[in-house]
Copies of this chain bind each other. A is one copy, B any other.
């Protein structure tokens, strides 16, 4: 297969960015699991581009923390350790609680986005559309972080979320994991909209602490299963 860069009506992106996007999508969708080798010669042949183009893409993914490279030994999809997950959740608590505390200055549109995202999570649970619950929950957390009103913070958070996706890739049953939190999305959104920020941050901290524990448990279980 070669890259189809000239999709209908879309401006062409540089080939390296297209390869990066494709690889990122495969990682996000679990088609490339943590530890999967990424050999630049093989990918170049698969995508019908040169090795240097694939190198560019892999380097960008490495900068995002999704890929690790060892000099002259190869690249692979990152495998998150328990320490990584703890680090990511420490960062999440900082960003999400900080953003909630800053929400007094947020626009109505930002607050409505938080509300909508919480409602979307609930809706997907009601309709049994488990595949979308995780995505909707992520959208909720993204909307919360946007309350901080910093594009750089938004990008950092999205990067953390992408890395966190790597943990889900090795866990057995994501939907069982997600269902616990949706009710809390709604609770936290209601507290934020009511201006009860201290309560909202306390609940968000609890939420993230429990979520971290569950994911670390899941990742450890997966590690044991691998041995």
Residues of A bordering B, CB below 8 Å: 14, 52, 55-56, 59-60, 63, 65, 71, 87-88, 90-91, 94-95, 97-99, 102, 148-153, 156, 160
Q: How far is the CB of A40 from chain B (nearest CB, A)?
A: 13
Q: How far is the CA of A61 from the CA of B14 in the complex (A)?
A: 18
Main secondary structure of the interface of A (DSSP, over half): helix
Q: Would you mind naming 6 contact pairs between A and B with Cβ atoms under 8 Å apart? A: A14-B71, A56-B59, A87-B150, A94-B94, A94-B95, A98-B98
Most chain B CB inside 10 Å of its own CB: which residue of A98, A148, A160: A98
Residues of chain B with a CB closer than 8 A to A88's CB: 150, 152
C-alpha spacing A14/B59, complex, angstroms: 13
Of B56, B60, B99, B160, which contacts A94 at CB under 8 A? B99
Instruction: List B contacts of A149 (CB < 8 A).
Output: 90
Chain B residues within an 8 Å CB radius of A99: 94
In the complex the two chains form, what is the Cα distance from A90 to B160 in whole Å?
19
Extra contacts, 18 of them, besides A59-B60, A63-B63, A94-B150 (Cβ < 8 A), are: A14-B71, A56-B56, A56-B59, A87-B151, A90-B148, A90-B149, A90-B150, A90-B153, A91-B152, A91-B153, A91-B156, A94-B95, A94-B99, A94-B148, A94-B153, A152-B156, A152-B160, A156-B156
